[in-house]
C-alpha cells in the first residue's frame, strides 16, 4: 500500500509533465488550469469540512489573500511572480491558525456564518483600502513567464499548466500522507467525537489549528495559481461565490474523500464552460445537476465509485508488515506490595452548577493496582466526580492529584497523556469508522509524531506506525474483538460496543482507567465476563476506578467501594462492609429514618 | 417534363454544392462580442452590436459580400469569465477580433490576453483610462474616459453652474473614486460632502440625509447603475433635499429618469450621444433599433453598435478580416461616420467625437440643454 | 441634532427590513436546524410579485401583499418538498440542505431573470411623505414600520398562543421528542418553511417601492440577514427582531462618520468578535 501510493504519485507526476505537451490550445490549457485551481480550493475546504467536520463558508478569505499577497508583492516590489507565489501561502496559514483557534468557541452553523462574514470583511477591506489594493478595479499582474519553459520547449500557457498540475499533485499527495498518519486520525476523531478524542489524549486544539492553518495555506496557493490566468486581481476573489464553489464542489464530489474534491472542482470549472452553447440556461442546468446529486447521492459522486473502500480508507497503517511481537509498551506499574503512595488522591472537591451543589467536599484515594468501585443512587454525583477527575469539568474547590501531580483544571487530553483515561456513560465510539480504525486512533499516545516525519514518511515514522498497529492488534485481542476489525463500530451489537469503548481506553495505555457504567445494558453473563476482563487487567498492573449500578457486579469486581449520596461520601470500605452499612442500605432502599425525616425518594433504584 | 425539372433541380443542387465548395469566398466574418448579457447594460450593449451586424449584412456585408456573424458570450462582470470567454473566442471559435464589454476590470484582463495572443480588442463601454494604456497597439476604446469628461464638464460646472457648496455621491468603483478625486481638485473647500456607496446597496436614505446635512446646493451623482442613481434622486425628493441635481457625464439615461420619476426633473448631465442627434446615420440607427427592439437606443446601445460597426468598416477598408495589424491601422488611420457624428482615434486607441452634449431632463425626457 | 434624529428614523425602517428577512431565516434554523439558502430569493420573489401585480394585472398595491404570500408560499412548498423535507433528517442534513437550497436559489434567480430580464423596476407603493418635526418620513417607510411591527406581533402570538406555534416550538426543542408525542414533524416542518418564506415575501413586497425590485435583490440582502440571525442567536425570534432593527440603526449612525463599505466591515468584525465572546448570539441558548 505505501509503495502503491508513491508509485501512483510518481506516475501522476510524469503525466502532469507530459500532458502540457499534448495540449496546444490555450483555451483547453486555461480550462484545465481553472479545473485544477478549483480542485485545490475544494481540497482545502475538504480538509476543514470533510476531515475535521466544520462547515466553512469563507474559504475564499484565504483564496483571495493568497492572490492579493502574490500580486501585490510582484507589483509593488518588482519581484518575479513565481518567487512571490510560495511566500503568499504564509498569510493564508497565519489566518488559518487564527480561525483554527476561533473554531474552539464556535461550531456548526455559527462557524459557517462567522467564516462567511470574515471573508466579507476582507472583501470590503480590499475594495475600500484603495491606496493599498487599488480598490475595486483591482491589481493588474502582467503575465510572468516561467524560468524553465524555454528549456523544456513549452509555451507560457503550457508551462503554467505543468506548474499548476504538479502543485495540485503535491498537495493531494501530502494530504494523503497526513491522513494516513496520526494527524489524519486525530482530525477524524475530532470530527466524530470531540470528547472521545480528548479523553484519548488527542489535543484537539493543536490539531484543529494545524488543520485550518494547512487548509488556509492550500487555499492561498490556489488563489496564487489562478492569477496568471485572469491577469487582474479583484476583491471578488474574496466573495461568497468562490467560497460557495469550494464547499459545493466538495459536497458534490464527496466529502471526506481524497478524490471527491478533485472531481467536484473539475465539474464546477468545466461544466459551465462546456454548457456555453446553451449560454442562457447553463447555470440553471448546473443547479439542477446539484439538486439531483444531493438528493440521490448523499456521499457525493465518489460514493458511486468506491462504496465500501471509503469506509475503510486510512484504517490500516502505511508501514511495512507490522511487527508480530508485542511492542515494547511502557509497562504499567506492577502491583507493589506495600507501596504507600496512592495513585489518585481526591481531596475535598466541590462543584456547583448554577445553584445546585452537585458535589460537596468529596475525598478519597485510590492505591496503585486496586479496583475502586464508586456507587450511589442516581443523582449522587458519580459521573460528575468522573468528569472532575478526568478534566472535563473543573472543580470549584479542592484538588485532584494523580501520581503526585496536581491535575485539577488540566485539559482532558493532558490528563490522558499523564496516564488517566476514562470511558463514557453513553457509548462513545467513532461510529462510522471501522473497529480497527477506532483502535488505531486510540493509539495516539503511543508515540509523539512530528509533522515533518509524517509528511515525509521517514523510516522512524514507519517504525512508530508499526508499533501503533501492533498495539492496536493487541488491544483488540485482549477485548476479544479481533474478528470485528473490519466492521463499522456503530454496527456492533451493544455489548461489543461497550467492550470496544474499553478497548479504546486501553489503547491509550493508561495507568488508571476510569470506567463509567461499563456494564449498563449487559446481561449477567456478559457482566461477569467483564469482571473477568477487569481482574485480568488489574493483575497486569492496571488501576481501575469503576462506576456502575450493577451492585452484584460491583461487589464482585471491586477491591474497595466508595458510596456517594447527594454529592457527598456516605461510606468507604471493602465490599462486604459497605454492603452491610445501614446508611447505604437506607439510601438505596429508602425507609424512614427518624433523624433525617427524608421521604423515600430513591426506593426503586436499587437493581438486583 | 418531370424528368427535365428533376434534372434542373439536380443541376442547381450540384452547382450549389460546388459553390459551397468555394465557400471561403462567402464564409461569414466572425466577430466576437463580450458582454455581461444577464445585466441590463450588457443586454443593451449586446443589442446594439446585434443591430450593427444586421444593418451591415442588410447593406451587403463586407469583403465581397461576406456576412458578419457575431459570436457572443456572457462575462458577468468577472475577469475569470471574461478571460475564459475571450480564450474560447480566440481558440475555439476562430475569432481574431473581440469587441464589446462594459466592465473596466474585465476589459483590462481581456486586453492582456489580446496582447498575448495578437488579437484585436475594441472595448465599447469601459471608462477607466488604463484600458488603453497597456502599451498594446491593437486595443481601442470607444467611450470617453473620466479624464476626458472632466476636462469639459469641470469648466461647465465651475463657470456656468457656479455652486456654493458641492456634494458628491459616488459608487464604490474606480469611476466613482476617480470622480471624487477630480471633484476634490476642482472645488477644494467648496466640496462639503464626498460619500461612496456600495455597488449592491439599495437603501439610500442614510446617504442622502448625510448629503442634505452638509448644506450643499449642488449634488453630483457618479453611479453607473441607473437603478441606484435613480433611487438616490427619488430619495432626494422624498427627503425634500432641494439642491440642484447633477449627474456625471455618461450615466444619464431614460431608465434612470423613469426610476427617479419627477425627482429627475431639472437634473442635468452631459454625454457623447443623444438619440435626437440630427444626422442620417443616427436617424437610420434609431429607426432600426426602435423597430427591432421597441425601445429608443441610448449611449450604451450606441457604443455596442459602434464596436461592431467601426470594426467591420475597418476590415472592409483594410481588405482583411484576419490581419489584426492592418485592421488596427485602418481604425486608427480613418475618420468614421457613426450615429454620433465623426469618430477618430488617437495613438493610444482612444476614440473622440467632439464636445460633450449637455443634457437636461425636461418633462420626463432627456433633451439637449439650451446653450 | 436634526441629522441624528433623521438618521435614527432612517435606520429604524432599514432595520425593520433586516428584521423581517432575518425572522424567516431564524425560524427555519430554530425549528429545522438547517440554513435555508433560498431565503433571499423568496424575499426577491415577493418583490417580483408586487411588480407583476402592478404591471401585468394592474392591481392596486395592497392587493400585491396577499398575492405575494400566496405565490411565494406555493413556491416555497415546492422547494421544501424537493430540497428540504427529506434531507433534514440526514446525518449531514445541515450541509445537504445548504447545497440543495443553494441550487434552488440559483434556479429561482435565473428563472426570474429569464422571465423578467435584468431590468430593475419601480413599484408604486404608498406615495408621499410627511414631516415629524425635523424628521421626514415617507408614507411607504411608515407603512413598513407599522405593518412590520404588526407582523412581528402576530407571529409572536402565533408562536405562543396557537397549537401550531406550540408544535413548532416543541420541534425546535427536540425533533425526536416531538415525534414521540405524536407531532407530525415532517408536516409541521413544511408549514414552518412556507411560513418563513411568506414572511420574507411580505418583506420583499413591502420593500420593493423603497429599494427597487431587481432580480439581484435577494442575494444582496441575504448576507446581512445572516449577520442579524447569528448576532441575535439562531432560532431566537426576539433576537432577529432586536438585532435586525439594531443593525439598521447602527449602520445609519455609523454612516455619519464612515462610508457604507467601511461601516459594513466594522460591523462584520464586531459580529465575529461577539461570536468569540458569546457564541450563541445575544439571545440564543448556550450550547
Note the pLDDT tens digit of each residue in B248-278. 998 998 988 988 988 999 999 999 999 999 9
Angle made by CA atoms A226, A228, A232, in degrees to the nearest 5: 85
- Residue B284's CB is within 10 A of a number of other CB atoms, namely 12
Q: Smallest Cβ distance to C256: which of B210, B240, B261?
A: B210
Taking 3-state DSSP, the helix, strand and coil percentages for chain A, each rounded to the nearest 5, stand at: 60, 10, 30
Chain centroid, CA C90 distance in Å: 26
CB proximity list for A400: less than 8 A, separation 6 or greater: A344, A345, A346, A347, A349, A388, A389, A406, A407, A408
The count of CB pairs under 8 A between chains A and C is 121
Give Cα C171 to chain centroid, integer Å.
21
At B316, the pLDDT band (50, 70, 90 cuts) reads very high
Lowest mean pLDDT of A95-109, A363-377, A564-578, B16-30, name the range.
Answer: B16-30
CA distances from A293 to A242, A273, A289, B77 (A): 20, 20, 6, 29
pLDDT tens for A428-478 read 898 888 999 999 999 998 888 888 888 888 888 888 888 899 999 999 988
Q: Give pLDDT, residue A279.
A: 66
Q: How far is C267 from chain A (nearest CA, A)?
A: 9
CATH no. for residue C200?
Answer: 1.10.3470
Give the pLDDT mean for A406-415. Answer: 89
Of C118, C212, C261, the CB nearest to B172: C261
Q: What is the mean pLDDT of residues B210-236?
A: 91
pLDDT at B57: 94
CA dihedral B300, C214, A129, A212 (to 10 degrees): -130
Chain C residue with minimal CA distance to B36?
C118
Q: Which domain holds residue C117?
A: 2-121+136-277
Q: Which residues of C touch A (CB under 8 A)?
A: 29, 35, 82-83, 86-87, 90, 92, 94-96, 98-100, 102-104, 106-107, 110-111, 114, 223, 226-227, 229-230, 234, 259, 261-262, 264-265, 268-269, 271-272, 275-276, 279-281, 287
In the stretch 466-505 of chain A, residues with CB closer than 8 A to chain B read none
Which residue, among B58, B142, B114, B48, has the nearest Cα to B336 in the 3D structure? B142
Q: Spell out which residues of chain C touch residue A49, defining contact as CB-CB under 8 Å.
A: 95
Domain CATH number, residue A424: 3.40.50.300
> Are the beta carbons of A138 and B130 separated by less than 8 Å?
no
- Residue whose grid cell is 441575535: C232
Closest residue by Cα to residue C87 from C37, C32, C39, C42: C32
- Does position A561 have pLDDT exceeding 60, yes or no? yes
Task: With beta carbons less than 8 A apart as the criterion, state whether C55 and C7 touch.
Answer: no
Q: What is the mean pLDDT of chain A?
A: 85
Q: Please state, in angstroms and as integers, the Cα–Cα distance from residue C28 to each residue in A494, C23, C44, C94, C200, following that order.
A: 35, 9, 18, 12, 12
**Mean pLDDT value of segment A415-426:** 90
The grid coordinates listed for B183 are 471633484
pLDDT per residue as tens digits for the range C111-130? 898 888 877 888 888 888 88
Residues of chain B with C-beta less than 8 angstroms from the C-beta of C261 = 172, 196, 198
| Residue C283 domain flag | no
Q: pLDDT per residue over A256-298, tens digit each?
A: 899 999 999 999 899 878 877 776 677 788 888 888 888 888 7
Gyration radius from chain C CA atoms: 19
- Nearest CA-CA distance, residue C32 and chain B, Å: 30
pLDDT in tens, C239-272: 999 999 999 998 888 887 887 788 888 888 888 8
Query: Can you give the pLDDT at residue A567?
Result: 84
What whole-number percentage of chain B has pLDDT above 90?
A: 61
Name the minimum distance, in Å, from the CA of A26 to any CA of chain B. 7
Which residue out of C6, C204, C250, C251 would a mutagenesis test of the B interface target, given it has the greatest number of B Cβ atoms within 10 Å?
C6
Residue where one domain finishes, among candidates A217, A240, A263: A240
pLDDT of residue A323: 47
d(C-alpha A119, C-alpha C268), whole Å:
10
Which chain B residues are closer than 8 Å to A25 by Cβ?
A: 91-92
Q: What's the average model confidence in pLDDT over B336-345?
A: 93
**What is the chain C residue with the closest CA to B234?**
C210
Using CA coordinates, name the residue in chain A closest to B82.
Answer: A230
The CA-to-CA distance between both ends of chain A, in Å, stands at 52
Q: Is the ipTM of this complex over 0.90?
A: no
Instruction: Give residue A146's pLDDT band: very low, low, confident or very high (50, 70, 90).
Output: confident
Residue where one domain finishes, among candidates A240, A255, A278: A240
C-alpha grid cell, residue B121: 480588442
pLDDT for the residue numbered A599: 46
> A347 and A234 in one domain?
no
> Is A12 part of any domain?
yes
Tell me which chain B residues have a C-beta less than 8 angstroms from the C-beta of A232. Answer: 79, 105-106, 108-109, 112
C265 touches chain B (CB under 8 A): no
Q: Quick one: A230 and A111 in the same domain?
A: yes
Q: Is the pLDDT of residue A326 over 80?
A: no
Q: Do A229 and B83 touch (CB under 8 A)?
A: yes
Cα angle: C146, vertex C151, C157; to 5 degrees: 130
pLDDT band at B10 (very low <50, low <70, confident <90, very high): low
CB contact under 8 A, B172 and A226: no
Same domain, A364 and A236: no
Instruction: Assess if residue A291 is contained within a domain.
Output: no
What's the rounded mean pLDDT across residues A44-61?
A: 92
Cα–Cα dist A245/B201, whole Å: 24
Q: Which of A416-425, A456-465, A492-501 has the lowest mean pLDDT?
A: A456-465
Rounded distance between C-alpha atoms, residue A95 and residue A479, angstroms: 44
User: CA of C144, closest CA in chain B: separation in Å?
Assistant: 13
| Window B:10-69, CB contacts with A under 8 Å | 37
Percent of chain B with pLDDT over 70: 93
Judged by a CB distance cut-off of 8 A, whether residue B75 touches chain A is: no
d(CA C272, CA B232) in angstroms, rounded, equals 32
Same domain (yes/no): A62, A193: yes
Domain-located, residue C65: yes
Does the residue C170 lie in any domain?
A: yes
Looking at the domain assignment, is residue A299 inside a domain? no
Q: Which of A291, A300, A303, A311 is the best mutation test for C, with the most CBs of C within 10 A?
A: A291
Do residues A16 and A162 make contact, with C-beta atoms less than 8 angstroms apart?
A: yes
Same domain membership, residue A227 and residue A374: no
B85, B110 Cβ separation under 8 angstroms: no
Per-residue pLDDT at A2: 45
Residue of A nearest to B77 (CA): A236
pLDDT for the residue B1: 47
For residue range C5-63, what is the model confidence (pLDDT) as tens digits?
888 888 898 899 899 999 999 999 889 988 898 999 999 999 999 999 998 888 899 99
- For residue A143, the enclosing domain spans 5-240
- Hey, is A93 helix, strand or coil? helix
Question: What do you get for the CA distance between the two ends of chain C, in Å?
Answer: 43
Confidence of residue A598 (pLDDT cuts 50, 70, 90): very low
DSSP B337: E
pLDDT greater than 60 at residue A312? no
Quick one: pLDDT at residue A604?
Answer: 42
Taking only the tens place, the pLDDT of each residue in A62-81 is 999 999 999 999 999 988 89
C214 belongs to a structural domain: yes
What whole-number distance in Å separates Cα of residue A118 and Cα of residue B370?
A: 52
* Confidence bin at A334 (pLDDT 50/70/90): very low
Q: Return residues 116-135 of A near B (CB < 8 Å).
A: 127-128, 130, 135
Sign of the alpha-carbon torsion through A410, A411, A415, A417: negative
pLDDT digits (tens, 9 = 90+) for B128-161: 888 998 888 999 999 998 888 888 899 999 888 8
Contact A287 C100 (CB under 8 A): no
In a domain, A599, yes or no: yes
Q: What pLDDT is stored for residue B46 in this prediction?
A: 96
**Whole-angstrom distance between the N-terminal and C-terminal Cα of chain B?**
75
In a domain, A306, yes or no: no
Q: What value does the mean pLDDT take over residues B70-94?
A: 91
Round to whole Å and give the CA distance between C18 and C22: 6
| Closest CB to C262 among A128, A290, A294 | A128
Identify all chain B residues contacting A160, using CB atoms and an 8 Å cutoff.
Answer: none
Give pLDDT tens digits for C273-283: 888 888 777 88
B146 CB within 8 Å of a chain A CB = no
> Does residue A600 sit within a domain?
yes
Question: How many Cα atoms are found within 13 Å in the side-chain-facing hemisphere of C47?
Answer: 28
Is the residue at A246 inside a domain? Answer: no
Confidence of residue A552 (pLDDT cuts 50, 70, 90): confident
CA–CA min distance A380, chain C (Å): 24
The mean pLDDT of C163-179, rounded to a whole number, is 91
How far apart CA B149 and CA B153 sit, in angstroms, is 6
Judge if A385 and A511 occupy the same domain: yes
**pLDDT at position B323, please?**
92
Is the confidence at residue A324, as pLDDT, over 50? no
Residue A329 has pLDDT above 80, yes or no: no
For residue A266, the model assigns a pLDDT of: 94
For the stretch C192-227, pLDDT in tens is 999 999 999 999 999 998 888 888 888 878 888 888
Give the pLDDT of residue B4: 55
Minimal CA separation from C129 to chain A, in Å: 34
Q: How many whole angstroms from its chain centre is CA B364?
A: 23
Task: Give contacts of B177 with chain A, Cβ < 8 Å.
Answer: 130, 135-136
In chain A, the number of structural domains is: 2
Mean pLDDT (chain B, rounded): 89
Interface of chain A toward chain C, CB-CB under 8 angstroms: 49, 55, 102, 105-110, 112-114, 116-118, 120-121, 124-125, 127-128, 240, 244, 247-248, 251-252, 255, 280-281, 283-284, 286-288, 290-291, 294-295, 298
B76 touching A, CB under 8 A?
A: no
Q: Which of A331, A328, A324 is nearest to A540 (CA)?
A: A331
Q: CA separation (Å) from A234 to A67, A123, A133, A330, C151? A: 9, 9, 9, 57, 41
Instruction: Look at chain B and count its residues.
Output: 371
> Using the beta-carbon criterion (under 8 Å), do A281 and C110 form an inter-chain contact?
yes
Does residue A606 have a pLDDT over 50?
no
- Quick one: which H or E segment has residue A399? strand A397-402
Q: Across the interface, do C14 and B205 touch by the CB < 8 Å criterion?
A: yes
Chain A contacts in chain B segment 148-177 (CB below 8 A):
172-174, 177
Q: Which pTM does this prediction carry? A: 0.87
- List the grid coordinates of A383: 459521573
Residues of C in contact with B43 (CB under 8 A): 117-118
Q: Give pLDDT, residue A328.
A: 46
Banded model confidence at residue A332, pLDDT cuts 50, 70, 90: very low
Predicted confidence band of residue A480 (pLDDT cuts 50, 70, 90) = confident
Residue A237 has pLDDT above 90, yes or no: yes
**Interface residue B114 vs chain A (CB under 8 A):** no
Sign of CA dihedral C258, C263, C265, C267: positive
Dump pLDDT digits (tens) for A168-224.
Answer: 999 999 999 999 899 999 999 999 888 999 999 999 999 999 999 999 999 999 999
In a domain, C258, yes or no: yes
Distance CA B304, CA B47 (A): 7
What pLDDT sits at residue A289? 84
Determine, for residues B205 and C212 on separate chains, whether the beta-carbon distance falls below 8 Å: no
DSSP strand pairing (B218-222 vs B244-247)? parallel
Number of domains in chain C: 1
Give C98's contacts (C-beta < 8 A, 6+ positions apart): A55, A112, A247, A251, C34, C35, C37
Q: C230–A288: do the CB atoms touch at under 8 Å? A: no
Between strands B357-362 and A568-573, the pairing is unpaired
pLDDT at A594: 40
Query: SS3 for A31?
Result: helix
Please determine, for residue B52, whether its predicted confidence score (pLDDT) is greater than 90: yes
The shortest C-alpha distance from A49 to chain B (Å) reads 26
Residue B7: band (very low, low, confident or very high) from pLDDT cuts 50, 70, 90: low
Q: Classify A338 in phi/psi space as left (phi over 0), alpha (psi -120 to 50) or beta.
A: left
Cβ–Cβ contact C269 with B under 8 A: no
Q: Distances in Å between the alpha carbon of C79 and those of C27, C88, C226, C229?
A: 16, 13, 20, 22
- Tell whether C127 is covered by a domain: no
Select from C83, C79, C76 the least CA-distant residue to C97: C83
Q: Is residue C40 part of a domain?
A: yes
**C126 three-state secondary structure:** coil
CA–CA gap between residue C269 and residue C242 (Å, rounded): 19
The last residue of one of the domains, among A215, A240, A265, is A240
Sole residue written with cell 408586487: C50
Strand partners, A573: A561
pLDDT for A244: 85
> Do A412 and A550 fall within a single domain?
yes
Residue of C286 and A546 predicted with greater confidence: A546
For residue C196, give Cα distances in angstroms to C22, C51, C80, C191: 9, 21, 11, 9
Q: Is A226 on the interface with B (CB under 8 A)?
A: yes
Amino acid at each position: 500500500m505505501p509503495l502503491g501510493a508513491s508509485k501512483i504519485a510518481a506516475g501522476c507526476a510524469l503525466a502532469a509533465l507530459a500532458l502540457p505537451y499534448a495540449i496546444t490550445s490555450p483555451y483547453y490549457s486555461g480550462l484545465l488550469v481553472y479545473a485544477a485551481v478549483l480542485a485545490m480550493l475544494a481540497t482545502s475546504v475538504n480538509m476543514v469540512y470533510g476531515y475535521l467536520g466544520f462547515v466553512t463558508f469563507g474559504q475564499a478569505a484565504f483564496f483571495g489573500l493568497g492572490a492579493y499577497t502574490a500580486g501585490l508583492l510582484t507589483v509593488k516590489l518588482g519581484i518575479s511572480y513565481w518567487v512571490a507565489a510560495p511566500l503568499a501561502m504564509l498569510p493564508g496559514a497565519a489566518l488559518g491558525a487564527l480561525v483554527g483557534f476561533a473554531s474552539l468557541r464556535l461550531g456548526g452553523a455559527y462557524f459557517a456564518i462567522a467564516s462567511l462574514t470574515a471573508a466579507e470583511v476582507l472583501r470590503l477591506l480590499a475594495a475600500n483600502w484603495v491606496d493599498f489594493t487599488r480598490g475595486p478595479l483591482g491589481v493588474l499582474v502582467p503575465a510572468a513567464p516561467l524560468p524553465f519553459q524555454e528549456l523544456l520547449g513549452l509555451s507560457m500557457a503550457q508551462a503554467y499548466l505543468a506548474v499548476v498540475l504538479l502543485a495540485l499533485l503535491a498537495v493531494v499527495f501530502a494530504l494523503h500522507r497526513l491522513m494516513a498518519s496520526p494527524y489524519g486520525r486525530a482530525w477524524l476523531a475530532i470530527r466524530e467525537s470531540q470528547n472521545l478524542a480528548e479523553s484519548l489524549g488527542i489535543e484537539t486544539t493543536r490539531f484543529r489549528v494545524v488543520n485550518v492553518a494547512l487548509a488556509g495555506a492550500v487555499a492561498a496557493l490556489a488563489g496564487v495559481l489562478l492569477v496568471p490566468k485572469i491577469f487582474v486581481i479583484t476583491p471578488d476573489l474574496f466573495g461568497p461565490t468562490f467560497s460557495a464553489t469550494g464547499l459545493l464542489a466538495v459536497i458534490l464530489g464527496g466529502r471526506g474523500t481524497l478524490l471527491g474534491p478533485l472531481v467536484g472542482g473539475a465539474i464546477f470549472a468545466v461544466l459551465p464552460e462546456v454548457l456555453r452553447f446553451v449560454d442562457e440556461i447553463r447555470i440553471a442546468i448546473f443547479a439542477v445537476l446539484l439538486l439531483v446529486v444531493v438528493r440521490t447521492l448523499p456521499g457525493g459522486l465518489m460514493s458511486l465509485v468506491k462504496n465500501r473502500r471509503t469506509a475503510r480508507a486510512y484504517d490500516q497503517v502505511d508501514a511495512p508488515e507490522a511487527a508480530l511481537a508485542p511492542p515494547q509498551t511502557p509497562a504499567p506499574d506492577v502491583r507493589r506490595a506495600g507501596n504507600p503512595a496512592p495513585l489518585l488522591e481526591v481531596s475535598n472537591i466541590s462543584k456547583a452548577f448554577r445553584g445546585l451543589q452537585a458535589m460537596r467536599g468529596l475525598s478519597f484515594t485510590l492505591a496503585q493496582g486496586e479496583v475502586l468501585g464508586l456507587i450511589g443512587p442516581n443523582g449522587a454525583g458519580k459521573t460528575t466526580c468522573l468528569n472532575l477527575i478526568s478534566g472535563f469539568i473543573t472543580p470549584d474547590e479542592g484538588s485532584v492529584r494523580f501520581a503526585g501531580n496536581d491535575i485539577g483544571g488540566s485539559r482532558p487530553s493532558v490528563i490522558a497523556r499523564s496516564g488517566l483515561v476514562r470511558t463514557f456513560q453513553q457509548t462513545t465510539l467513532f461510529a462510522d469508522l471501522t473497529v480497527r480504525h477506532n483502535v488505531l486512533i486510540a493509539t495516539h499516545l503511543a508515540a509523539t509524531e512530528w509533522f515533518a516525519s509524517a509528511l515525509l514518511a521517514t523510516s522512524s515514522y514507519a517504525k512508530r506506525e508499526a508499533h501503533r498497529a501492533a498495539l492496536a492488534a493487541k488491544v483488540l485481542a485482549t477485548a476479544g474483538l479481533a474478528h470485528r476489525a473490519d466492521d463499522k463500530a456503530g454496527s456492533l451489537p451493544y455489548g461489543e460496543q461497550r467492550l470496544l469503548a474499553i478497548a479504546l481506553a486501553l489503547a491509550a495505555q493508561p495507568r488508571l482507567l476510569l470506567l463509567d457504567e461499563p456494564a449498563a445494558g449487559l446481561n449477567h453473563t456478559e457482566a461477569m465476563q467483564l469482571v473477568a476482563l477487569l481482574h485480568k487487567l488489574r493483575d497486569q498492573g492496571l488501576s481501575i476506578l469503576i462506576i456502575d449500578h450493577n451492585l452484584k457486579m460491583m461487589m464482585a469486581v471491586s477491591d474497595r467501594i466508595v458510596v456517594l449520596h447527594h454529592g457527598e461520601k456516605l461510606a468507604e470500605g471493602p465490599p462486604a462492609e459497605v454492603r452491610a452499612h445501614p446508611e447505604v442500605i437506607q439510601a438505596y432502599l429508602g425507609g424512614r429514618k427518624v433523624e433525617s425525616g427524608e421521604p423515600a425518594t430513591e426506593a426503586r433504584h436499587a437493581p438486583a | 417534363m418531370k424528368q427535365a425539372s428533376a434534372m434542373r433541380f439536380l443541376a442547381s443542387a450540384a452547382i450549389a454544392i460546388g459553390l459551397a465548395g468555394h465557400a471561403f469566398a462567402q464564409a461569414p466574418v466572425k466577430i466576437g462580442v463580450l458582454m455581461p448579457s444577464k445585466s441590463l447594460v450588457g443586454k443593451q450593449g449586446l443589442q446594439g452590436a446585434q443591430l450593427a451586424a444586421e444593418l451591415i449584412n442588410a447593406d451587403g456585408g463586407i469583403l465581397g459580400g461576406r456576412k458578419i456573424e457575431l459570436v457572443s458570450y456572457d462575462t458577468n462582470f468577472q475577469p475569470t469569465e471574461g478571460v475564459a470567454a475571450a480564450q474560447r473566442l480566440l481558440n475555439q471559435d476562430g475569432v481574431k477580433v473581440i469587441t464589446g464589454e462594459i466592465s473596466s476590470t474585465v476589459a483590462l484582463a481581456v486586453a492582456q490576453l489580446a496582447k498575448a495572443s495578437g488579437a484585436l480588442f475594441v472595448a465599447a463601454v469601459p471608462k477607466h483610462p488604463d484600458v488603453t494604456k497597456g502599451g498594446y497597439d491593437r486595443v481601442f476604446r470607444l467611450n470617453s474616459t473620466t479624464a476626458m469628461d472632466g476636462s469639459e464638464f469641470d469648466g461647465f460646472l465651475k463657470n456656468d453652474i457656479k455652486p456654493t457648496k458641492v456634494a458628491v455621491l459616488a459608487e464604490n468603483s474606480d469611476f466613482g473614486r476617480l470622480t471624487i478625486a477630480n471633484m476634490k481638485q476642482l472645488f477644494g473647500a467648496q466640496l462639503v460632502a464626498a460619500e461612496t456607496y456600495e455597488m449592491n446597496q439599495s437603501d439610500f436614505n442614510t446617504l442622502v440625509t448625510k448629503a442634505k446635512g452638509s448644506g450643499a446646493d449642488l449634488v453630483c451623482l457618479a453611479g453607473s447603475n441607473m437603478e441606484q442613481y435613480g433611487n438616490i434622486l427619488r430619495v432626494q425628493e422624498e427627503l425634500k433635499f432641494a439642491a440642484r441635481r447633477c449627474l456625471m457625464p455618461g450615466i444619464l439615461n431614460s431608465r434612470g429618469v423613469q426610476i427617479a420619476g419627477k425627482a429627475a426633473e431639472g437634473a442635468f448631465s452631459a454625454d457623447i450621444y443623444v438619440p435626437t442627434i440630427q444626422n442620417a446615420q443616427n436617424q437610420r440607427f434609431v429607426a432600426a433599433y426602435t423597430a427591432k427592439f421597441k425601445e429608443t437606443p441610448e449611449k450604451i446601445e450606441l457604443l455596442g453598435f459602434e464596436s461592431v460597426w467601426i470594426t467591420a468598416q475597418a476590415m472592409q477598408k483594410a481588405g482583411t478580416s484576419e490581419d489584426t495589424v492592418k485592421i488596427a491601422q485602418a481604425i486608427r488611420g480613418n475618420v468614421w461616420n457613426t450615429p454620433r457624428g465623426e469618430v477618430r482615434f488617437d495613438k493610444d486607441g482612444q476614440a473622440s467625437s467632439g464636445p460633450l452634449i449637455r443634457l437636461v431632463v425636461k418633462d420626463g425626457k432627456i433633451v439637449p440643454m439650451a446653450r | 441634532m436634526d441629522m441624528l434624529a433623521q438618521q435614527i428614523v432612517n435606520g429604524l425602517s432599514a432595520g425593520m427590513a433586516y428584521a423581517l428577512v432575518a425572522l424567516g431565516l431564524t425560524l427555519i434554523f430554530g425549528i429545522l436546524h438547517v440554513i435555508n439558502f433560498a431565503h433571499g430569493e423568496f424575499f426577491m420573489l415577493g418583490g417580483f410579485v408586487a411588480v407583476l401585480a402592478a404591471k401585468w394585472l394592474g392591481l392596486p398595491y395592497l392587493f400585491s401583499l396577499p398575492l405575494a404570500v400566496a405565490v411565494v408560499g406555493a413556491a416555497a412548498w415546492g422547494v421544501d418538498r424537493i430540497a428540504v423535507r427529506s434531507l433534514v433528517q440526514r446525518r449531514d442534513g445541515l450541509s445537504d440542505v445548504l447545497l440543495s437550497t443553494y441550487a434552488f436559489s440559483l434556479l429561482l434567480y435565473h428563472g426570474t431573470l429569464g422571465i423578467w430580464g435584468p431590468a430593475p423596476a419601480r413599484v408604486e407603493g404608498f406615495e408621499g411623505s410627511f414631516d415629524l418635526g425635523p424628521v421626514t418620513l415617507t408614507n411607504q417607510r411608515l407603512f413598513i414600520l407599522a405593518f412590520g411591527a404588526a407582523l412581528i406581533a402576530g407571529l409572536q402570538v402565533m408562536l405562543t398562543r396557537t397549537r401550531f406555534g406550540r408544535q413548532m416550538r416543541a420541534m425546535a426543542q427536540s425533533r425526536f421528542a416531538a415525534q414521540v408525542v405524536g407531532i407530525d414533524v415532517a408536516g409541521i416542518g413544511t408549514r414552518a418553511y412556507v411560513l418563513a418564506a411568506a414572511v420574507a415575501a411580505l418583506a420583499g413586497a413591502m420593500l420593493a417601492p423603497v429599494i427597487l425590485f431587481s432580480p439581484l435583490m435577494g442575494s444582496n440582502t441575504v448576507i446581512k440577514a445572516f449577520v442579524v440571525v447569528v448576532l441575535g442567536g439562531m432560532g431566537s425570534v426576539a433576537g432577529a427582531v432586536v438585532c435586525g432593527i439594531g443593525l439598521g440603526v447602527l449602520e445609519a449612525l455609523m454612516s455619519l462618520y464612515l462610508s457604507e463599505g467601511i461601516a459594513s466591515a466594522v460591523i462584520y468584525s464586531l459580529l465575529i468578535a461577539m461570536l468569540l465572546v458569546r457564541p450563541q448570539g445575544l439571545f440564543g441558548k448556550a450550547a
